[in-house]
């Protein structure tokens, strides 16, 4: 199966694959070399509102040696500054997943090939690679000195890596582990039957959760490599899974349009359904969890195929999640979400990345910036806090179906109370700034997408 997500039949991504395949028919040799471009672009900052509702800011023409365009310059604002610090282009396949190891200063990317690429911070050069026997690395997760990856053969592999002088890695094991009984039956009943699409790790119990297109979620004891629980979670593909580290709650979302919350039964390995969040009947592709150390607030975000981001707030007394509103701004499906402190980063099928900020202690949100640069849908995102001073810095990693991998530096100043006063006077609990974006998709893709709506 070519696509990693079960998009609707008339999806923009399907057009991208059709046109890409047609363009590649005349060439049988795939260039395996990579191009690394450091974007010597000045800091760009978000604008508060477009100058005119009928005008857009033109993009600069692409450079001759690069297949992508730089982000458009925008009017200065003290709230947020951002710029692209690195752009990497690979031709060995689409990048499906990104994982960050902050302790080692490494970034891992999984693609259609059987090689997991390793990039070193802060120069973002290729530091090494991990070669597996199976490709299509749909999901990656780094914890400590270990890396968890999922593959085309429906297995999960665990790698141990070290960075003394040169990068070294070793496969610790595969899940599910082989046994004489499974070899006798020629099948493994613990194994997922279809693509393993997502991973989540519960640190306190050493449990690895996997979600699959076979509609099931499995819990694995990493120490013993055994499956301790398996249950049918949704009526369609399981697209994303999260674990809340302080209480072990498991969150899953699916193409059936629902988000579900699961809990482990006390002193047992089995899981029970606690709550179903079903606000819209659109496929949901992404989840993000945002917790605040300031007042113990917890927000759950979900990205759906209609371009909206719904969010729920957890009650402190009943511990239930109540729908708080939705963020609008993306033109097409939201494919990935990342939450770091009060910032939410969303990647979309419309080729853009939006930066949202939630006001501390409330449900009010604002869109700080729209990052342009990719020429295809943004498939996956990862982000981490770079510094925590007066001005906070974030590193954002993005990968697109245009086979490019970009690194962004985002600097955010403290919240301006004046900026939120307008939202408090409005009737809506959520305010979204309407950006006039310059699409970088080909006009034929956009035209056909709009006609099929």
Q: Domains in the chain, start-ordered, CATH in brackets? A: 92-179+188-350 (2.130.10.10)
Query: What is the rounded average pLDDT for all residues in the chain?
Result: 77
Is the pLDDT confidence value at 362 over 90? no
How far, in Å, CA of 236 to CA of 245, rounded?
26
CB 131 within 8 A of CB 115: yes
Is the pLDDT confidence value at 206 over 50? yes
> For the chain, what percentages of helix, strand and coil (3-state, to nearest 5) are there?
10, 45, 50
Which of 189, 191, 200 is CA-nearest to residue 245? 200
Is the pLDDT confidence value at 64 over 60? no
Nearest-Å Rg of the Cα atoms of the chain is: 21
Burial of 219 (0-12, 13-18, 19+ CB in 10 A): buried
* Per-residue pLDDT, 361: 78
How far, in Å, CA of 372 to CA of 377, rounded?
11
Task: Classify strands 156-162 and 250-254 as parallel, antiparallel or unpaired.
Answer: unpaired
How far, in Å, CA of 157 to CA of 137, rounded?
10
Q: Is 386 helix (H, G, I), strand (E, B) or coil?
A: strand
Q: How confident is the model at residue 390 (pLDDT cuts 50, 70, 90)?
A: low
How far, in Å, CA of 387 to CA of 395, rounded?
10
Please report, for residues 154, 238, 252, 399, 406, the alpha-carbon distance to residue 285 in angstroms, rounded to integers and kept in the order given.
Answer: 20, 9, 10, 16, 21
Q: What is the pLDDT of residues 316-344, one digit of tens each?
A: 888 899 999 999 999 999 999 999 989 99
How far, in Å, CA of 5 to CA of 194, rounded?
12
Is the pLDDT confidence value at 105 over 80? yes
User: What average pLDDT does the segment 142-164 reach?
Assistant: 93
CB 158 within 8 A of CB 172: yes
Is the pLDDT confidence value at 11 over 50? no
Residue 320 CA from chain centroid, whole number:
25
* Per-residue pLDDT, 321: 93
Residue 13 DSSP code: H
User: What average pLDDT does the segment 256-271 reach?
Assistant: 91
Q: What is the pLDDT of residues 28-43, one digit of tens each?
A: 343 444 444 334 333 4
* Per-residue pLDDT, 422: 37
Residue 324 has which token pair?
């708080």
Alpha helices in 82-143 (DSSP H): none
How far, in Å, CA of 198 to CA of 195, rounded?
9
Residue 49 DSSP code: S
Residue 154 DSSP code: S
How far, in Å, CA of 279 to CA of 308, rounded?
11
Is the pLDDT confidence value at 12 over 60? no
CB 85 within 8 A of CB 70: no
- Of the ranges 116-120, 303-307, 445-449, the best mean pLDDT one: 303-307
User: What average pLDDT does the segment 121-147 reach?
Assistant: 89
* Per-residue pLDDT, 203: 94
* Per-residue pLDDT, 36: 41
Q: Is 340 helix (H, G, I), strand (E, B) or coil?
A: strand
Is the pLDDT confidence value at 255 over 90? yes
Is the pLDDT confidence value at 71 over 50? no
Is the pLDDT confidence value at 408 over 80? yes
| Three-point CA angle 268, 273, 279, nearest 5° | 160
* Per-residue pLDDT, 49: 32
How far, in Å, CA of 247 to CA of 288, rounded?
16
Is the pLDDT confidence value at 26 over 90? no
* Per-residue pLDDT, 356: 95
> What own/partner pairs with CB < 8 Å and gap ≥ 24 does 155-162 have?
155/191, 155/196, 156/196, 156/199, 156/208, 156/210, 156/220, 157/132, 158/222, 159/116, 159/130, 161/101, 161/104, 161/106, 161/118, 161/130
Q: How confident is the model at residue 294 (pLDDT cuts 50, 70, 90)?
A: low
Lowest mean pLDDT segment, chosen from 39-48, 329-338, 411-420, 435-444: 39-48
User: What average pLDDT does the segment 364-378 reach?
Assistant: 93
Which of 354, 406, 442 is CA-nearest to residue 41? 406
């Amino acid at each position: 199966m070519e696509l990693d997500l079960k998009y609707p039949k008339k999806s923009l991504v399907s057009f991208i694959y059709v046109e890409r395949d047609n363009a590649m028919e005349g060439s049988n040799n795939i260039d395996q070399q990579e191009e690394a471009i450091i974007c010597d672009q000045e800091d760009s900052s978000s604008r508060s509102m477009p100058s005119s509702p009928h005008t857009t800011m033109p993009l600069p023409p692409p450079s001759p040696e690069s297949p992508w365009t730089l982000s458009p310059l925008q009017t200065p604002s003290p709230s947020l500054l951002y710029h692209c610090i690195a752009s990497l282009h690979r031709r060995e396949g689409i990048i499906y997943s990104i994982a960050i190891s902050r302790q080692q200063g490494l970034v891992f990317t999984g693609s259609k090939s059987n090689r997991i690429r390793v990039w070193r911070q802060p120069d973002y050069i290729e530091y090494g690679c991990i070669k597996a026997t199976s490709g299509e690395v749909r999901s990656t997760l780094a914890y400590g000195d270990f890396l968890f990856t999922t593959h085309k053969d429906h297995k999960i592999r665990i790698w141990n890596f070290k960075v003394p002088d040169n990068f070294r890695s070793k496969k610790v094991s595969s899940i599910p582990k082989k046994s004489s009984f499974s070899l006798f039956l020629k099948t493994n009943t613990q194994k997922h039957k279809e693509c393993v699409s997502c991973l989540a790790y519960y640190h306190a119990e050493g449990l690895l959760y996997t979600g699959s297109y076979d509609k099931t979620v499995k819990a694995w004891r990493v120490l013993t490599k055994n499956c301790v629980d398996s249950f049918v979670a949704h009526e369609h593909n399981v697209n994303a899974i999260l674990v809340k580290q302080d209480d072990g709650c498991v969150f899953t979302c699916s193409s059936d349009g629902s988000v579900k919350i699961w809990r482990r039964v006390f002193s047992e390995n089995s899981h029970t359904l606690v709550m179903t969040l079903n606000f819209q009947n659109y496929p949901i592709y992404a989840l993000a969890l945002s917790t605040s150390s300031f007042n113990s607030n917890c927000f759950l975000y979900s990205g759906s195929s209609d371009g909206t981001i719904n969010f729920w707030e957890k009650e402190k007394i009943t511990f239930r999640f109540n729908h708080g509103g939705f963020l609008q701004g993306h033109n097409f499906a939201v494919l990935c979400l990342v939450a770091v402190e009060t910032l939410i980063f969303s990647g979309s099928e419309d080729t853009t990345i939006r930066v949202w900020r939630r006001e501390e202690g409330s449900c009010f949100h604002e869109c700080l910036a729209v990052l342009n640069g990719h020429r295809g849908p943004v498939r996956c995102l990862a982000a981490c806090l770079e510094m925590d001073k007066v001005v906070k810095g974030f590193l954002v990693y993005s990968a697109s179906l245009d086979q490019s991998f970009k690194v962004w530096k985002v600097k955010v100043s403290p919240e301006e109370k004046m900026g939120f006063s307008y939202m408090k006077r409005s009737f809506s609990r959520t305010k979204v700034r309407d950006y006039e974006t310059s699409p970088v998709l080909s006009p034929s893709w956009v035209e056909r997408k709009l006609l099929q709506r």
